[in-house]
Amino acid sequence: MEQLSDKTQALVRLALCGGGAALLYGAAAKLPALEEHHPWLEEHKLQVIALSAAALYGLSLVLFPRPEEESEPEQPDFCDGYEPVE
């Protein structure tokens, strides 16, 4: 059940970063300082959003790292009457 929780947390983090990247793209498209780059931004819209989402995801991992599990490795189950050889 823990594995599913980790995957869910990663997907939520990725979705938030993707939404944040889309918001950043929308804001960048309206900035007058980037007016000369508007044609390039429009032409490469998907790449810009994907690259921004990847950067935000990496930044989120640096700022909020995933918790590490401290679990001992499981001992193998032995059949009745058999002992492990050391």
> pLDDT digits over 8-43, tens only?
888 999 999 999 999 999 998 888 898 898 899 899
57: helix, strand or coil: helix
Tens-place pLDDT, residues 45-66: 999 999 999 999 999 999 988 8
* 21 vs 51: CA distance, rounded Å: 8
Q: What is the pLDDT of residue 29?
A: 87
Q: What is the pLDDT of residue 59?
A: 94
Q: Name the residue ranges covered by the structural domains of the chain.
A: 32-62
Q: Is the pLDDT of residue 74 over 70?
A: no
**Residue 83: both structure tokens together:** 């002992």
Q: What is the pLDDT of residue 77?
A: 65
